[in-house]
């Protein structure tokens, strides 16, 4: 795998390293040792799938807080999406900064989301499927969220938001 640092402290883009021959290619998408070697949380508690039939579906912005903070590895397995993360660790040099990455089934790129980051995405195609590997079990009592259009972050979503859950729409602005 190829690990690329991002502008956000501890967040990484992870690309597969293809080994190709006449049959196609083979690539590793997970290796505990490689994640540990790059200082990333290698724990894996659960894997989830999100299927989104419609382009313009927004999910986010979500995070789990202490003591059940979670790291995530997010990958698009069908279609495409704009994945956004926000660093909400008060002691981080990139506190309140965000990053967006386009993840597609074609580029097979993954985004490593560290603990203490909010996460959300907007589908860019119909029938987009997302796979998550998560370091902690889901704990509804530890989940927080904030509005996807919060002016404190000024996230520039690349397409119109057409579908969003009532829960995500009703989240307050960060700190508000």
Closest CA to 60 of 29, 52, 68: 52
pLDDT for position 4: 97
Q: CB atoms < 10 A from the CB of 154, how many?
A: 8
> What are 100's two structure tokens?
């967006």
pTM recorded for the entire structure: 0.94
Can you give the pLDDT at residue 62?
Answer: 96
Catalytic residue (one of 38, 62, 68, 95): 62
Cβ distance 81 to 128 under 8 Å? yes
Active site residue 98: no
pLDDT of residue 175: 75
Q: Which residue is catalytic, options 98, 112, 132, 171?
A: 132
Q: Let me know if domain 8-13+43-170 sits in CATH 2.60.120.10.
A: yes
Residue with structure tokens 């190709």?
20
Residue 119 annotated among the catalytic residues of the structure: no
- How far is residue 35 from each of residues 50, 52, 85, 100, measured CA to CA in Å? 24, 29, 19, 21
Task: Say if residues 36 and 23 touch (Cβ distance below 8 Å).
Answer: no
The predicted structure's pLDDT at residue 148: 95
Phi-psi region of 175 (alpha: psi -120 to 50; beta: other; left: phi over 0): left
Q: What is the pLDDT along the chain (176 residues), one digit of tens a residue?
A: 999 999 999 999 999 999 999 999 999 999 999 999 999 999 999 999 999 999 999 999 999 999 999 999 999 999 999 999 999 999 999 999 999 999 999 999 999 999 999 999 999 999 999 999 999 999 999 999 999 999 999 999 999 999 999 999 999 999 75
Q: Do the bridges between strand 46-52 and strand 80-87 make them parallel or antiparallel, or are there none, so unpaired?
A: unpaired
């Amino acid at each position: 795998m190829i690990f690329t640092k991002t502008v956000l402290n501890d967040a990484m883009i992870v690309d597969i390293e293809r080994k190709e021959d006449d049959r196609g290619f083979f690539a590793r998408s997970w290796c505990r040792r490689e994640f540990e070697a790059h200082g990333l949380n290698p724990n894996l508690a659960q894997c989830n799938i999100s299927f989104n039939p419609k382009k313009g579906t927004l999910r986010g912005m979500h995070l789990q807080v202490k003591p059940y903070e979670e790291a995530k590895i997010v990958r698009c397995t069908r279609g495409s999406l704009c994945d956004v993360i926000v660093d909400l660790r008060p002691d981080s040099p990139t506190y309140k900064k965000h990053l967006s990455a386009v993840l597609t089934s074609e580029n097979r790129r993954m985004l490593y989301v560290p603990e203490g980051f909010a996460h959300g995405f907007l589908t860019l195609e119909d029938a987009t499927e997302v796979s998550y590997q998560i370091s902690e079990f889901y704990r509804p009592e530890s989940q927080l969220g904030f509005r996807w259009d919060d002016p404190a972050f000024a996230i520039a979503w690349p397409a119109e938001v057409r579908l969003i859950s009532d829960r995500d729409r009703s989240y307050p602005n960060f700190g508000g």
